[in-house]
A = this chain, B = another copy of it.
């Protein structure tokens, strides 16, 4: 393995506990952007943050909050997994632009403008119509830029995504998805989106969720790495990273919540179907958090340089998150302090 490799996973919603935290360290995960919400409102988001604060107390020898990006080096040195926060929906901010800064103060670094459905901000990737970024959406993009929270369009529709890329003064991310050329999923992204994303300095986090992979659970590591290489040709090696979308050890009820929230009275099967509603099996070479080293081996086998592997495994995410953090109120304020 590469010495002192920094591995940052851009999206995960596992059923965390000491077992998985230990496995993450074994798999070399330095830091993970954990999903806080799918449909939760502001108040519920506070409780979810409260659960993590409790976990920092209880499992302080295994995990630590990444309050500033430099904490990632501390996590690495002290053998703990660094925890960052991301919102997969804008439900947390409700209709209140001021909540963006509040959640930024509480450590939220990424927010999706939509989760599958139309939101107050933009259209989700499951809508049949996509009218682009809304009035409120434009205000939110500007405020996220100011606060240094990364705009994430993983679950958004194409026009909305292109508009968000264009409207944002900072690079945005698609934290967990794959190219459409690899596998035709509503969640995967067109070459047009990927090129626009890269042209504005953004990042695509490669998903390991079987519904985003060619041949699903039967996808091979070689298939996956070949897709990565082709995407690098399209976007450049500075604009790709990981967003595993691992939902390790989660019960079916969680999948139901992700798909149906409180918005439907019937059952929406998302990327599954009535005949196959359950969590899909992970591919053999990426079953859980212990398997990140397999990705490195795959990249090495296909001739990627050490420098490029480090970028894909974590340094591209690090750079983007650290750049965003520079506009964060708290950090800016410390700069005041030093200057004064």
Interface, chain A (partner B; CB < 8 A): 42-43, 46-47, 49-51, 53-54, 56, 64-65, 67, 70-71, 74, 77-78, 96, 98-99, 101-102, 105-107, 329-330, 333, 336-337, 340
A336 touches B74 (CB 8 A): yes
B50 touches A102 (CB 8 A): yes
Q: How many copies does the complex hold?
A: 2
Cβ 8 A contact of A106, one of B71, B77, B106: B106
Complex: how many Å from CA A56 to CA B54? 30
A46 touches B102 (CB 8 A): yes
A74 touches B329 (CB 8 A): no
Q: Which residues of chain B are within 8 angstroms of A53 by Cβ–Cβ distance?
A: 98, 101-102, 329
Complex: how many Å from CA A333 to CA B67? 9
Please give me the 8 A-B residue pairs with the lowest Cβ-Cβ distance, nearest first.
A50-B98, A74-B340, A53-B101, A43-B43, A46-B102, A42-B43, A77-B340, A74-B337
B340 touches A46 (CB 8 A): no
Q: Which residue of B lies closest to A60 (CB)?
A: B336
In the assembled complex, the CB of A279 is this many whole angstroms from the nearest CB of chain B, namely 29
Complex: how many Å from CA A23 to CA B337? 24
Complex: how many Å from CA A56 to CA B49? 25
In the assembled complex, the CB of A153 is this many whole angstroms from the nearest CB of chain B, namely 25
Q: Which residues of chain B are within 8 angstroms of A51 by Cβ–Cβ distance?
A: 98
Q: Which residues of chain B are within 8 angstroms of A336 by Cβ–Cβ distance?
A: 64, 74
A99 touches B46 (CB 8 A): yes
Complex: how many Å from CA A186 to CA B64? 46
B333 touches A96 (CB 8 A): no
Q: Which residues of chain B are within 8 angstroms of A96 by Cβ–Cβ distance?
A: 46-47, 50
Q: Which residues of chain B are within 8 angstroms of A99 by Cβ–Cβ distance?
A: 46, 50
Q: Which residues of chain B are within 8 angstroms of A102 by Cβ–Cβ distance?
A: 46, 49-50, 53, 106
Q: Which residues of chain B are within 8 angstroms of A54 by Cβ–Cβ distance?
A: 98
Complex: how many Å from CA A53 to CA B147? 11
Complex: how many Å from CA A340 to CA B65? 15
Q: Which residues of chain B are within 8 angstroms of A65 by Cβ–Cβ distance?
A: 333
In the assembled complex, the CB of A91 is this many whole angstroms from the nearest CB of chain B, namely 13
In the assembled complex, the CB of A140 is this many whole angstroms from the nearest CB of chain B, namely 14
Q: Which residues of chain B are within 8 angstroms of A78 by Cβ–Cβ distance?
A: 340
A98 touches B42 (CB 8 A): no
Q: Which residue of B lies closest to A76 (CB)?
A: B340
User: Which of A77, A96, A102 is packed against the most chain B CB atoms within 10 Å?
Assistant: A102
Q: Which residues of chain B are within 8 angstroms of A337 by Cβ–Cβ distance?
A: 70-71, 74
Q: Which residues of chain B are within 8 angstroms of A105 by Cβ–Cβ distance?
A: 105-107
Complex: how many Å from CA A70 to CA B338? 11
B340 touches A101 (CB 8 A): no
Complex: how many Å from CA A53 to CA B101? 8
B330 touches A67 (CB 8 A): yes
- A and B contact pairs by CB, cutoff 8 A, 7 listed: A43-B43, A46-B102, A50-B96, A50-B102, A53-B102, A102-B106, A106-B106
